[in-house]
Amino acid sequence: MRGVVLNINIYYGGRGIIDDPTLFVINKMQEILEELRVKVTRYNLYESKNAIPTLPQTLKNADGIILATTVEWYGIGGYMQQFLDACWLFGDKEKIAEIYMCPVVMSTTYGEREAKLNLSTAWEILGGLPCSGICGYIENTVTLEMNEQYIRIIEKKAENMYRSINQHIACFPASNQAVKQKIAVPKSNNLTPQETEQLSQYVSDDSYVQRQKQDIRELTSLFQDMLDEEVTDNEEEYLAAFKKAFKPQTDFRAEYSFAIEEKKRKLVVSVDGSLLECSYGSCEKPDVEMQLGKATMEDIVNGRMTFQRAFMSGVMKAKGDFKLLRSLDQLFGFEEKA
Q: Tell me the pLDDT tens digit for each residue of 207-242.
A: 666 777 788 888 877 777 666 555 544 678 899 999
Confidence band (pLDDT; 50, 70, 90) for 196?
low
Residue 176: partners with Cβ closer than 8 Å, 6 or more residues away: 121, 124, 125
In a domain, 234, yes or no: no
- For residue 153, is pLDDT > 60? yes
In a domain, 172, yes or no: yes
Q: Are residues 245 and 169 in the same domain?
A: no
Q: Are residues 32 and 135 in the same domain?
A: yes
Closest CA to 136 of 155, 158, 156, 111: 111
Q: Provide mean pLDDT across the span 29-37.
A: 95
Pick the last residue of a domain from 128, 154, 188: 188
Mean of all residue pLDDT scores within the chain: 86
Closest CA to 164 of 224, 120, 102, 237: 102
Q: Are residues 173 and 67 in the same domain?
A: yes
What is residue 222's predicted lDDT score, i.e. its pLDDT?
75
What is the CATH classification number for the domain harbouring 112?
3.40.50.360
Helix (H, G, I), strand (E, B) or coil at 273: coil
Q: Are residues 106 and 243 in the same domain?
A: no
| b/e per residue 170-202 (b: at least 16 CB within 10 A) | eeeebeebeebeeeeeeeeeeeebeebbeebee
Q: How far apart are CA 221 and CA 124, in angstroms?
A: 45
- Planar angle of CA 241, 243, 246, nearest 5 degrees: 105
| Sheet hosting strand 275-281, strand order edge to edge | 275-281, 266-272, 253-260, 288-292, 316-320
Q: Are residues 78 and 147 in the same domain?
A: yes
Q: Are residues 184 and 94 in the same domain?
A: yes
Q: Are residues 171 and 278 in the same domain?
A: no
In a domain, 130, yes or no: yes
Closest CA to 127 of 77, 179, 163: 179
Q: Residue type at 175?
A: S
Pick the last residue of a domain from 121, 155, 188: 188
Closest CA to 102 of 40, 146, 52: 40
Domain count for the chain, please give it.
Answer: 2
What is residue 335's predicted lDDT score, i.e. its pLDDT?
86
What is residue 2's predicted lDDT score, i.e. its pLDDT?
45
In a domain, 141, yes or no: yes
Q: Are 118 and 130 in contact (CB under 8 A)?
A: no
> Within 13 Å and on the Cβ side, how many CA atoms surround 334?
22
Q: How far apart are CA 328 and CA 276, in angstroms?
A: 13
Q: What percent of the chain has pLDDT over 90?
A: 64
Axis crossing angle, helix 193-204 with helix 78-90, rounded to the nearest 10: 140
Q: How far apart are CA 207 and CA 227, in angstroms?
A: 30
Q: Are residues 22 and 157 in the same domain?
A: yes
Domain that holds residue 258: 239-331
Q: Are residues 156 and 64 in the same domain?
A: yes
Q: Are residues 285 and 184 in the same domain?
A: no
- For residue 1, is pLDDT > 50? no
Q: Are residues 177 and 244 in the same domain?
A: no
In a domain, 337, yes or no: no
98 or 3: which leads in pLDDT: 98
What is the CATH classification number for the domain harbouring 262?
3.30.1050.10
In a domain, 169, yes or no: yes
Cα separation of the two ends of the chain: 80
In a domain, 232, yes or no: no
Pick the last residue of a domain from 125, 156, 188: 188
In a domain, 26, yes or no: yes
Q: Residue type at 212?
A: Q
Q: Tens of pLDDT along 249-291?
A: 888 999 999 999 888 889 999 999 999 999 998 888 899 999 9
Helix (H, G, I), strand (E, B) or coil at 59: helix
CB count in 10 Å sphere of residue 254 = 20
Q: Are 105 and 112 in contact (CB under 8 A)?
A: yes
Q: Are residues 173 and 285 in the same domain?
A: no
